[in-house]
Structure 1
């Protein structure tokens, strides 16, 4: 179950209904899939073969196709990150820069944990969304955010895209006070 932590106030929001309601107000889709569907031999595995990634996609095919139909996604894949991932530090540095996309950034966490840091409305500011297996999030196009791993540094996620070329990040710079 996702947990939200406000960066400016320290407030914590927990519980699927509370998390979903808060994220909805921020224009962020939040859903929950049954992560226990993942076959036992893949539940705590973070180095995956192409065949294992295909098995994950097959396991969640109904959920993926439902979300794709509702939101217009055309392609999906599986990403797995852990200490054994080649160039993990370089990847994380790339992910950890605030950026936007020209389409939604969608992640369905099927194993492990991750954190999206998202820029909310003016009153809310930035907030962390700590995700675990079963959590599905869609950060809307143009919304500044970044992603990083939690302390265990392990995540497996299904990614969905509208543009079949996949994930393209555009750097985001905060405007200074006064609109400069």
Structure 2
């Protein structure tokens, strides 16, 4: 279940309803899919074949199509990151810069853990959304944010896009951000 840490106060927000309310107040969509739906051989598998990725998409087809119909997403895929990912350090450096997009950034976590760091209003500042299997997040278009892995350095996620070529990051220079 997702958990939030507000960076400037170190306050933690726990519990699905509290997380959903906080994120909703920050225009971030949060949902939860049943992680136990995924076949056991995919639940902690971070070296996925194309067939494995297609099986994940098939398993969550109803949830994906429901979210896509509500939010206008037209295409989706599966991404996996782990120590086995070629050039993992370079990829993470690319992800770990505050940026924005011209469309929502949507991730449905199916295995592993990761963090979205999102800029809230002036009073809240940046906050971390710690995600695990079953958590679904949609960071809104134009919201400064970035993504990184947690200590386990493993994640599998379904990504949904409006534009078929996917999102393009636009760097966001923010002198108030501290890693």
How far 1:151 moved relative to its partner? 0.2
Gapped regions of structure 1 (runs ≥ 5): none
**Is residue 74 of structure 1 aligned with residue 66 of structure 2?**
no
* TM value normalised by structure 2: 0.97
- Name the counterpart of 1:170: 170
Aligned-partner SS, 1:156: strand
* TM value normalised by structure 1: 0.96
- Name the counterpart of 1:130: 130
Gapped regions of structure 2 (runs ≥ 5): none
How far 1:122 moved relative to its partner? 1.0
Instruction: Summarize the alignment of residues 106-145 of structure 1 with structure 2, pairs less than 5 Å apart.
Output: 106-145=106-145
- Name the counterpart of 1:96: 96
Aligned-partner SS, 1:173: coil
Cα deviation, 1:126-163, whole Å, max 9, x if unaligned, reads: 00000000000000000000000000000000000000
Rounded to whole Å, the distance in 2 between the matches of 1:174 and 1:137 is: 23
How many equivalent pairs are there? Answer: 176
Given that 2:114 and 2:147 are in contact with CA atoms closer than 8 Å, whether structure 1 keeps it comes out as: yes
How far 1:76 moved relative to its partner? 0.2
Moved over 6 A (4+): none
How far 1:175 moved relative to its partner? 6.4
How far 1:167 moved relative to its partner? 2.3
Aligned-partner SS, 1:18: helix
- Name the counterpart of 2:58: 58
- Name the counterpart of 1:86: 86
Given that 2:102 and 2:167 are in contact with CA atoms closer than 8 Å, whether structure 1 keeps it comes out as: no
Aligned-partner SS, 1:92: helix
Instruction: Summarize the alignment of residues 15-54 of structure 1 with structure 2, pairs less than 5 Å apart.
Output: 15-54=15-54
Aligned-partner SS, 2:57: helix
- Name the counterpart of 1:152: 152
Rounded to whole Å, the distance in 2 between the matches of 1:76 and 1:7 is: 31
